[in-house]
Amino acid sequence: MLTRRQFLKSGAGVLGAAAGLSFFSASGIIDQFSQSLPVLLYHRVGPESDDLTVSTERFAEDMAYLAREGYHTISLDQVGQQIRGAIKLPEKPVLITFDDGYLDNYTNAFPILQNFGLQASFYLITGMIGQVNRMSAAQVREMQAAGMSFGSHTVTHRPLAGLTPNEAAAELNNSKTWLEQMLGREIAFTAYPCGSFSAQTLRLAAEAGYIGGFSTRSGLAAFRNRLAIRRIPIFHFDRSIAYVMLKKGFLPTLFGQ
C-alpha cells in the first residue's frame, strides 16, 4: 500500500550514500557491514503485476539465493535482543519483513520460507485480519507456531504523521494490544503505514512500548534509530534479490565466504 513514487521519494539519496562506499577500503566496508542488518521489505507474493507484488517463482529464487549465500534469517526476538545489547547477531544476518498481512503471505510465501528453513516477520493491520484477501487469526497462529514473527501495522493503515496525537496513539496501542491477545506474546515492533511518521509518531511508539519501528526509508544502517529502522524495499521490477543486494552495496561471495 505504497506507491513506487512514495518509496523512491522516501529513499532518495540513500542509494547515493551506498554507492559512495569506497570499494578500495575493504576493512572499512567490512566494519560498516558488521554494524548493518539488511531488512528486506516485501508486500505480496503472487501473480499480480503491480510494483509491490513479486511472483511466487521470483520469491522462491530470492529465498534460494539467500540460503545459498549463507544468509541467516533472524527473528524479531533476535532483533530486540540485539537492540538491547544482549546478543550478537549471527554472521550474514538478514531480516525479511512483509507489510499489510495479505493472504498470499500465508498461501505463497510461507511454504517457500519453510522449504528453505528461513524465517520472516509480518506486520498486520489488525482491523483487516480475517477480511477478504487477508490472513486470518488461525493462519497467523499457525505461522507463529512455525517460527514466524509478527508486528503491528496499526489498526486502520492510516498514515500516522497525518493523525492527531490521540488518533496515532490509539492506532499504535490498540493494534499492539490486539495482537498480544491474539498471539499470547509481547508485540515489540511496529511498521508505519505508508512509511509515514513524524517526531510525534516516534515518541508515541516508544510510549506504547515498542522496542523498534520500521520505516520505508531505504538503507542499511538499521539501528541508527531503532524507532525508524530503514529497510530495503523489493519491487516487482527488481531483477532479483541478488541485484538488489548488490545495488545496496552487499557484495555476494566476495567477503562473505
CB of 204 to Zn ion, least distance (A): 18
CB of 125 to Zn ion, least distance (A): 7
Kindly state the DSSP code that residue 102 receives in the 8-state scheme.
B
Q: Can you tell me the distance from the alpha carbon of 148 to that of 113, in angstroms, rounded to the nearest whole number? A: 9
Nearer to Zn ion, 62 or 100 (CB): 100
CB of 240 to Zn ion, least distance (A): 24
CB of 254 to Zn ion, least distance (A): 34
Of 234, 246, 241, 228, the closest CA to residue 98 belongs to 234
Q: Which of residues 188-207 bind Zn ion (CB under 5 A)?
A: 193
User: Total residues at the site for Zn ion (CB under 5 A)?
Assistant: 4
DSSP-based three-state secondary structure for 143? helix
Q: How big is the chain, counted in residues?
A: 257
CB of 236 to Zn ion, least distance (A): 16
Question: Which class for 103: exposed (0-12), middle (13-18), buried (19 or more C-beta within 10 A)?
Answer: middle
- Helices then strands, counting H and E runs in the chain, come out as 11, 10
Nearer to Zn ion, 38 or 193 (CB): 193
Nearer to Zn ion, 10 or 78 (CB): 10
Nearer to Zn ion, 99 or 104 (CB): 99
What are the Cα distances from residue 6, in Å, to 44, 197, 204?
17, 13, 23
Q: Are strands 189-191 and 212-218 parallel, antiparallel or unpaired?
A: parallel
What are the Cα distances from residue 157, in Å, to 35, 73, 180, 191, 209?
31, 27, 18, 10, 19
Q: Which of residues 86-115 bind Zn ion (CB under 5 A)?
A: 99-100
Binding map of Zn ion across residues 1-20, x = CB under 5 A, - = no contact = x-------------------
Q: Is 171 an interacting residue with respect to Zn ion (CB under 5 A)?
A: no
CB of 191 to Zn ion, least distance (A): 7
Nearer to Zn ion, 11 or 193 (CB): 193
Nearer to Zn ion, 151 or 193 (CB): 193
| Contacts to Zn ion by CB under 5 A | 1, 99-100, 193
